Chains A and B, each alone.
Chain A
Amino acid sequence: MSGPEVALALSVFLACAVEAVEALTIVMAVGVTRSWSSALSGVAAAAATLAVLIAALGPALDAIPIDALRLVVGGLLLVFGLQWLRKAVLRAAGLKAQHDEAEVFATEAEAAREAGRSGQGFDGYSFVIAFKGVLLEGLEVAFIALTFGANQHRIGLAAAAAGAAVVVVALAGLAAHGPLARVPENIMKFTVGVMLTSFGTFWGAEGAGASWPGGDAALPGVIAVVVLASIGLVLWLRRTPAAATIGEPA
């Protein structure tokens, strides 16, 4: 695999792993407290919906001329990636709460216990919550995998990386018998934000007609600049009065 292909696979794997961890927490919360069979039916229905979406959009994206695709996808990835990176920088600077899967699991499980139950058999609540959780998290993954894959004409590689992440997270969930609270989710989100922003910058500029010095070899340089700038912004934000206030004991 070439350098950009490794970066593609790594970015999609990490993004998918992060979203799969979040979806796993939701599914486990309703599965443990209410009904595993209904929760897993919701997962299957969401997976089927996502598969239809990917099967429809994948070939359509592949048919778009590469420059137009890079301009549109680069722009979308940038808008999307900057959202991820902004939240990750705010978390790292102490201006936003760290994502805590154990806390999310406890909240979801409590809501599942309090929701009314119609009777034995199929549990609509578990189905809907699991379906929505997997579909919403899966849509982000599908978007990232499709855009990354289509831009490099490697949708198969992107899909394999996404699938591998789902399998790894599912196996880890089975082994842990609970939410994956010890996964370094915040660092993973920071990395995904950096990768989406870097690829978006690179492809967006190319799609707009710019030529990078050194061609594809410029991509690691773009990633390095985004990483260093993000770390610099974290350090800058840690010195702001807002960060100092949040850091004080209540």
Chain B
Amino acid sequence: MSRVRRAAKAVWEFVVGDDWRTALGVACALGITALVAASGAAAWWIMPLAVLGLLALSLRRAAR
């Protein structure tokens, strides 16, 4: 494995860890928040709901 790939893998494991679905969910939730906020509607409630939902799903997967 090249140094660049090893470094990229280390960064991935450091930041994303063993649950990439949660990281993807966070990115999607931020995107939806940006879209709703840009439309002029209240968007503050999206992130807390998304975060709690992602945590619950991640825990359910881990508990299986």
- B residues within 8 A CB of A222? 48
Interface pair A82/B63, CB less than 8 Å apart: no
Give, as a whole number of angstroms, the nearest-CB distance from B46 to chain A.
7
Interface pair B59/A201, CB less than 8 Å apart: no
- B residues within 8 A CB of A80? 15
Interface pair A74/B22, CB less than 8 Å apart: no
- A residues within 8 A CB of B36? 210
The range of chain A's interface size is: 35 or more
Give, as a whole number of angstroms, the nearest-CB distance from A143 to chain B.
8
Interface pair B59/A79, CB less than 8 Å apart: no
Q: Is B7 an interface residue (CB 8 A)?
A: no
Give, as a whole number of angstroms, the nearest-CB distance from B8 to chain A.
16
Interface pair B34/A95, CB less than 8 Å apart: no
Interface pair B26/A209, CB less than 8 Å apart: no
- A residues within 8 A CB of B47? 201, 204-205, 208, 210
Q: Is A71 an interface residue (CB 8 A)?
A: yes
Contacts A71-B30, A82-B26 given; does A211 touch B44 at CB 8 Å: yes
Q: Is A167 an interface residue (CB 8 A)?
A: no
Interface pair A225/B48, CB less than 8 Å apart: yes
- A residues within 8 A CB of B56? 233
In the bound complex, how far is the Cα of B31 from the Cα of A201, in angstroms?
13
- B residues within 8 A CB of A211? 37, 42, 44
Across chains A and B, which 10 residue pairs bring their CB atoms closest together, nearest first? A209-B37, A210-B43, A208-B33, A208-B34, A205-B47, A210-B44, A83-B17, A79-B23, A201-B47, A210-B37
30 cross-chain CB contacts under 8 A: A76-B15, A79-B15, A79-B16, A79-B17, A79-B26, A82-B54, A82-B55, A82-B58, A83-B22, A90-B62, A95-B63, A139-B14, A197-B51, A197-B55, A200-B51, A201-B51, A204-B29, A205-B46, A207-B30, A208-B30, A208-B34, A208-B37, A209-B34, A209-B37, A209-B38, A210-B37, A211-B37, A222-B48, A225-B48, A237-B63
* Residues of chain B whose beta carbon lies under 8 Å from any beta carbon of chain A: 14-17, 19, 22-23, 26-27, 29-31, 33-34, 36-38, 42-44, 46-48, 51-52, 54-56, 58-59, 62-64
